[in-house]
Structure formats: C-alpha cells, structure tokens
C-alpha cells in the first residue's frame, strides 16, 4: 500500500470527534496531487543575512549556537511525541499577537529540515496577516488561499529552496484582488493536504503557522484537521487570563506543549560553554532579541 493510501486509511480509522462538530458531513479525504503531478514547485535561494535580521536560523557564522540548540531540543521533543503517536501535522499558535509564533514556526521548520530523515512543509495559515513569506524573503503572493479556493494546484503555490532541499513552504498570500475570508480555512482541502505525502520514500512533517487563538474561530477550524498543536507564549506580553482561555478553547485538541519566548530568566552557567565555540566575531554580531524557546 502506498503512503497516501496508508495515511487515508489511518485517518478514516482515527477520526477526532471534534472534526464532526466543526465540519459535519465531510466526506473522506481524497489524495492531493502534491509534488511532480503537474510541474516542480519553484525554487528560490535563502538570503542568510535577511534570515538573521529576522531572528531566523541562517545557517551562517552569525547563527547563535545557544539559540540553535534550544530549537534542536524543541525539535527532538516534538518529533519524539509525534512519532510515538503516528502524527505528522502540527499547528503552531499563540493566545494573542506578538508572541513570536511565526519565528518559532519557521525556525522549527528549518531545524527539522536539517535532519537527513525528515522533510517538512511549512504552511502559513494566518491568512488575515500572513508573514512567513516576508520573513523568509519569498517573492510572489500566491499561497494557501489560492489552493483552498481551487484557483491554483498545490504545486503552483509551494516554494522550495536551493540550499534547503528538505523544506517546502506554502505562503499565506493570494493573487486575487479581494482578500479571502476566514471561512476558507474550513475547506476540506486542508484535511486532504495534511493526508498527502511529500514522496514515497521520506517522512514528511507538516507545520502550520496558525493565527492567534483569540482573534476568532480560525484556529479551531484548521485544528480539526491537524494532529496536534503547540502554543507559543511571550513572557513579557502574554496575559495569563488569555493563556487560560486559550487552553480551555483548545481542550478538545492534542496539545504537545508550550514555547516560552523572550524569557526574563538569567542565562545558566553552562551556557558559558559556548563562548569559545562561537568566537568573538559571532558573539558581537548576535541579536539580543532572538527567540528563546522552551517547552
């Protein structure tokens, strides 16, 4: 049995009850032409300087190994949980804006893509305010809404990278005059996309950059088609009542944990281990505002 058929069979056997509530009467998912069905997705090169300026893992000499290792730890913990449960899709959200969920989503995707045994597709589902493409320097506006509306096939909205062959991005923009409404996120094509496969040989993880939970029903609509969720909070701005409300709203879904950004905790003594490893030039160029993830 091919991977797509296996995924569809598993989905039909393990339906979450919340899906029936959010999307009543939905038919079983159909395979989505993912890669190579029409033409290869376009490929671009990542600008390391832009990535670093946007607090993303650049892969260059200015990448802070302390931050890199925190994302490696986050990657390892998440992959362990997902592999143990047979999950392959993870939504990343936050209670409110400016918690750093998009930076976390991109950095987690970049970290997973650096492993030889995984491929990752990063989907920008924050269609009210898409920013993944801007953060990564991807030109063009076609994206998830074009696919969900049936205007473009999936391989026309995916972007691959010359220097990151295990990573693909589906931006959140669109190429039509009137903007999409949040209702488009209830399309069954999201479910079909999550049940598709990158190819027949490699494991694929879908990371979905979701809107903040408390802006509307966007997250609940998409989460019904995802295996699990990760909540990103900002220690300096996330309100504890907002976090409690977020957890309550997402109580019917699988939560793998939280990421704490902009922690006010003092650096631990063992982090001095990195000083010789990084070198003086790298230390001087590091950004003081880099995300500090922790689960």
Domain ranges in the chain?
3-11+44-285
pLDDT at 255 over 90: yes
| Residue whose pair of structure tokens reads 């950095």 in the numeric block | 107
Supply 125's token pair. Answer: 């589902």
Contacts of 15 (CB under 8 A, 6+ apart): none
Question: Residue range 23-32: average pLDDT?
Answer: 44
pLDDT at 288 over 60: no
What are the distances in angstroms from CA 293 to CA 3, 74, 103, 201, 235? 33, 7, 10, 31, 11
- Rounded CA separation 293/68 (Å): 10
Q: What is the distance between the terminal CA atoms of the chain, rounded to a whole angstrom?
A: 36
Residue pair 100/142 in contact (Cβ under 8 Å)? The answer is: no
- Rounded CA separation 277/61 (Å): 11
- Rounded CA separation 128/218 (Å): 10
pLDDT at 154 over 50: yes
- Rounded CA separation 56/110 (Å): 9
Does the pTM surpass 0.85? The reply is: no
Q: Which fold, 3-11+44-285?
A: Rossmann fold (3.40.50)
% of residues, the chain, pLDDT over 90: 53
């Amino acid at each position: 049995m091919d991977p797509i058929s296996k995924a569809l069979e598993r989905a039909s056997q393990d339906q979450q009850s919340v899906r029936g509530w959010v999307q009543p009467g939905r038919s079983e998912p159909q395979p989505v032409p993912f890669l190579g069905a029409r033409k290869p997705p376009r490929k671009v090169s990542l600008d390391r300087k832009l990535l670093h300026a946007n607090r993303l893992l650049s892969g260059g000499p200015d990448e802070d190994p302390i931050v890199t290792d925190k994302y490696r730890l986050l990657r390892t913990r998440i992959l362990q949980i997902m592999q143990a449960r047979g999950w392959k899709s993870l939504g990343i959200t936050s209670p409110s804006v400016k918690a750093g969920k998009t930076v976390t989503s991109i950095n987690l995707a970049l970290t997973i893509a650096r492993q030889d045994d995984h491929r990752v597709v990063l989907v920008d589902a924050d269609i009210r305010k898409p920013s993944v493409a801007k953060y990564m320097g991807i030109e063009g506006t076609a994206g998830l809404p074009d696919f969900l509306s049936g205007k473009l096939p999936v391989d026309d909205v995916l972007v691959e990278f010359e220097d990151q062959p295990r990573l693909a991005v589906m931006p959140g923009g669109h190429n039509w005059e009137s903007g999409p409404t949040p209702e488009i996120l209830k399309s069954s094509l999201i479910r079909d996309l999550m049940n598709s496969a990158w190819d027949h040989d490699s494991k694929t993880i879908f990371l979905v950059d979701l809107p903040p939970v408390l802006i509307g029903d966007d997250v609940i609509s998409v989460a019904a088609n995802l295996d699990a969720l990760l909540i990103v909070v900002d220690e300096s701005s996330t309100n504890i009542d907002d976090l409690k409300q977020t957890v309550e709203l997402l109580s019917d879904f699988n939560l793998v944990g939280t990421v704490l950004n902009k922690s006010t905790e003092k650096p631990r003594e063992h982090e001095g281990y990195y000083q010789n490893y990084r070198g003086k030039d790298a230390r001087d160029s590091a950004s003081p505002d880099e995300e500090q993830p922790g689960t």
